[in-house]
Amino acid sequence: MAEIKSRQERPAQGVEYSEIHISDEENLGTGVFAIALEPKAMLNVPIVSSIVNVPVFQMFVNINYSDDEVTVVLGRADNNPPLSREVFVLPKNLDVTRVYKFDVLFKDWKLEELKMNGAALEKASG
């Protein structure tokens, strides 16, 4: 029951770092994926941060300020459809010049929650 923790510095444009934390290597479907944005990052193109470990794990996070939403997709990297997909709503009147940290919480291959600077974001309806 070894822990998995991996951090990548500047993995994509606008991303200061991303970090995956899985407390049990035997249960890859439960953990936290953190993404820290650089100041003003959301002013540019949508931000995509991902982690892939073929064939056992993949997660993609698309932060799209112009659409006021964050889309998260979770599954195995084995050419099968995602096991979980959720869209979360960004707060209105967001100060995009600030630094933001997003934490994706997932359990048993289901996306449970997305937090922005510690506050849970609402799931989009429909």
Q: Please report the pLDDT score of residue 31 as a whole number.
A: 98
Query: What pLDDT, on a 0 to 100 scale, did the predictor assign at position 45?
Result: 81
How far is the C-alpha of 56 from the C-alpha of 52, rounded, in Å? 8
Q: What is the residue-wise DSSP string for 3-38?
A: -EEEEEES-STTEEEEEEEES-TT-TTSEEEEEEEP
pLDDT value of position 36: 98
Which segments of the chain have a pLDDT < 70?
Answer: 126
Report pLDDT for 126. Answer: 61
**Contact criterion met (CB below 8 Å) for 103 and 115:** yes
Please report the pLDDT score of residue 125 as a whole number.
84
User: Global pTM?
Assistant: 0.94
Which two three-digit tokens encode residue 35?
């993404």
